[in-house]
Amino acid sequence: METVIALQKPELVEKLQQFAQVHNCEAADFLNMAVGEYLDKMAREKIATERQALEAHYTDILSLYSGRYVAVHQGRVVDSDTDARALYLRIRERYGYIPVLIRRITPKADQREMVFRSPRLRGGAP
């Protein structure tokens, strides 16, 4: 099912059409690319905020979740598991594509961060 979303501001439509023309692509393709890049930027910012929240309470979280993977959303631990994939699948089911930080809780010297990326196909846009 395709959802149609319309731009409400005529000046945005005009800018979009001009930028698409400069990049030699369709306005819809350019819009998809621009929105995708903006959403990626917002996701990176959200993960950075979640990382800061985790770091601010790391000692307490370590005492509760040592050796487990935790999911941090809106500044708090919302789930945990010993299996990162099981946790990821539950979080995806619960929150969809909203970014949620998943990190294994270990003493600082043992920490490694995992980043999961989804492939995205682009067509026509630069």
Give a yes or no: residue 5 inside a domain.
Answer: no
The domain total for the chain is 1
| pLDDT, position 85 | 97
Whether the pLDDT of residue 121 is over 70: the answer is: no
Give a yes or no: residue 121 inside a domain.
Answer: no
Residue 102 near residue 87, CB atoms below 8 Å: yes
Tokens of 59: 């000692």
Instruction: Kindly report, residue by residue over 2-20, the tens digit of the pLDDT.
Output: 888 888 999 999 999 999 9
Whether the pLDDT of residue 76 is over 80: the answer is: yes
Instruction: Say which amino acid occupies 74.
Output: Q
Q: Phi/psi of residue 53, each to 5°?
A: -65, -40
Instruction: Say which amino acid occupies 7.
Output: L
| pLDDT, position 110 | 53
Instruction: Kindly report, residue by residue over 77-119, the tens digit of the pLDDT.
Output: 999 999 999 999 999 999 999 999 999 999 875 556 666 666 6
Q: Which residue has the tokens 């996701």?
A: 43
Whether the pLDDT of residue 29 is over 70: the answer is: yes
pTM: 0.76
Average confidence score pLDDT of the chain? 89
| pLDDT, position 114 | 63
Structural domain that includes position 50: 10-110
Whether the pLDDT of residue 1 is over 90: the answer is: no
Residue 23 near residue 34, CB atoms below 8 Å: no
